[in-house]
Structure 1
Amino acid sequence: MNIFILEDNLYQKERLLATIKDILKEENLTCRHLEAYSKASNLLDNIKERGSHQLFFFDIEIKDEARKGLEVASELRQVDPNAVIVFITTHSEFAPISFKYKVAAYDFIDKALDPEDFKEQVRDCILYTSSLSGGIQSEVAYFDYKSSKAQIKVPLHDILYFETSQTAHKLILRTKTERLEFYAKISDVEQMSDKFYQCHRSFLINLDNISRIDKSSQLVYFDNGETCLVSRLKMKTLLTKWENNIS
């Protein structure tokens, strides 16, 4: 689980940080990253992972910022449909407005609550996110990769392919909406789903998202127009796997 805070008021930021740390200790929960920002751009620039293990606490009103909390949350939601978003605010009247931004916030927490009630609402958000990280989730299948250097959790049906990066020991994950880069071996990732097939030394594809295969050009096509190379020696096996997957 990773927790991020966007709050420009120093007192409120320190209060929320202290509350979260207390809860993590009381519940014996591990948080890989706990970070607080006062500027939206800094927060967005430092989000390296996607998935339901990501918990965000946003203040709706950020002074001297072009992007307010609702706009930042909307921007985040477009690239991470599974993150848990919570608003900490003195403006409860903004709750209905959030639907316009299609944020799907898990909760709105009033800063004016007494300390115990405030803490219990924050606790509920943390425990909820922790339960998702532990796999208590919907029937949607996920690619859930964890290592000492990375944690990535994205819906399997969103993945198009993986490719080797120019950076040694790194892979690039291409989904329908984004590009993620992380440390991993392509052979290890292939073992994580029977939907994955390494069709080339540089490419690992998701059989579910292939739109067509061109044998003459040795290319795999996806619905968004992207392509991957197919090794001549792997074309026959790929065609068999794809046909079996469709049937």
Structure 2
Amino acid sequence: MLTTFILEDNAKQRFYYQQIVRTQIMIDQLDMQLALVTATPQKIKDYLQHQPHTHGLFLLDIEIGNQLTAGLDLAEWIRNHFVDAQIIFLTTHTEMAFLTFERKIAPLDYLLKDNGAPKVEQQLRQDLKIAQQRYQQTILHTKQKFGYRIGQRYYEIPFSQFYFLETAPGNTGKLIIHADHQQAEFIGRLSEQAEKYPHLFLAHRSILLNPQTITSFDAAKRIAYFPDQQKCVVAFRKVGALNRQLR
């Protein structure tokens, strides 16, 4: 899920942006949650320090109170700690735009409040959709984690906890994922997953397994064992290749 934050010291504007985000999440069924709406940069830092694996979208005002670059400073800290963070600046300070490039923050957008509420709202709604699309790509294509979708929600599992995929019985268009203390069914085809994750092993026409999490392999019975007493069958013609890979 894409965790969303708003930093704005003007109470009226803070509520306004909050309503835009909540409405857009509901209308488009975005896989987002509005986690924190605040006028204090440190509160966002505190949240992130306790949630180091957050996929975040940040709507940041640059000037907070009498601190001219408080939002910019926070954005720089976020970028240094969360490489995939998506940052949108909401500000009246056009002259600050060049600092975002100088500090290598690489924001998703830079929205000028002086353009008027209708224009800002239109751009912000578009940015939320773009942020969702980028998040989906991050989840689905990361090499360290396996990503999948159920409805409008996206999930990810570290490959260290991923055991195997199998085609759902009687339905080649659905897959069942087996992982550390969890199992889920989602729409997809095994051939597509094998192409997307070439380090996984096609053990059977209906099974794609992770050799790294196999605890033992009984070649005579053609069964691969995983933690949690999970297991899967290996096709006869795949036994030799799997043995070589496990050496």
| 1:68 equivalenced with 2:70 (yes/no) | yes
2:91 and 2:27 map into 1 onto residues whose CA distance is 25
Aligned to 1:231: none
- Greater mean deviation of Cα atoms: 84-93 or 66-75: 66-75
Q: CA deviation at 1:139?
A: 5.3
User: SS where residue 71 of structure 1 aligns?
Assistant: helix
| 1:194 equivalenced with 2:217 (yes/no) | no
Counterpart of 1:62, as a letter, is: I
User: SS where residue 42 of structure 1 aligns?
Assistant: helix
1:40 and 1:25 map into 2 onto residues whose CA distance is 27
User: SS where residue 63 of structure 2 aligns?
Assistant: coil
- Greater mean deviation of Cα atoms: 112-121 or 127-136: 127-136
Q: TM-score w.r.t. structure 1 length?
A: 0.56
Residue of 124, 134, 137 corresponding to 2:136: 134
1:75 and 1:97 map into 2 onto residues whose CA distance is 14
Q: CA deviation at 1:74?
A: 0.9
Counterpart of 1:194, as a letter, is: N
| 1:120 equivalenced with 2:136 (yes/no) | no
Q: Is the 8 A contact 2:88 2:107 kept in 1?
A: yes
**Larger-gyration structure (1/2):** 2
Q: CA deviation at 1:23?
A: 2.3
What is the Cα-based RMSD across aligned positions, in Å? 4.2
- Greater mean deviation of Cα atoms: 96-105 or 26-35: 26-35
**Long gaps (5+) in structure 1:** 163-184, 200-240
Aligned to 1:46: 47
Counterpart of 1:29, as a letter, is: L
Q: Kindly provide the CA deviation profile for residues 158-215 of structure 1, in whole angstroms up to 9, marking residues without a partner as x.
A: x9x89xxxxxxxxxxxxxxxxxxxxxx85659xx98375489xxxxxxxxxxxxxxxx
Counterpart of 1:87, as a letter, is: F
2:62 and 2:131 map into 1 onto residues whose CA distance is 21
| 1:109 equivalenced with 2:107 (yes/no) | no
1:63 and 1:137 map into 2 onto residues whose CA distance is 36
Q: Is the 8 A contact 2:91 2:112 kept in 1?
A: yes
Aligned residues: 177
User: SS where residue 109 of structure 1 aligns?
Assistant: strand
User: SS where residue 32 of structure 2 aligns?
Assistant: coil
Aligned to 1:55: 57
2:16 and 2:5 map into 1 onto residues whose CA distance is 14
User: SS where residue 85 of structure 1 aligns?
Assistant: strand
Q: CA deviation at 1:12?
A: 1.6
2:144 and 2:8 map into 1 onto residues whose CA distance is 31
Q: CA deviation at 1:115?
A: 2.4
Q: CA deviation at 1:119?
A: 1.0
**Cα distance change, pair 17–187 in 1 and its aligned pair in 2 (3 A):** closer
User: SS where residue 102 of structure 1 aligns?
Assistant: coil
Aligned to 1:237: none
Counterpart of 1:111, as a letter, is: K
**Long gaps (5+) in structure 2:** 162-178, 184-207, 216-241
Higher helix content, 1 or 2: 2
Q: TM-score w.r.t. structure 2 length?
A: 0.56
Percent same amino acid among aligned pairs? 21
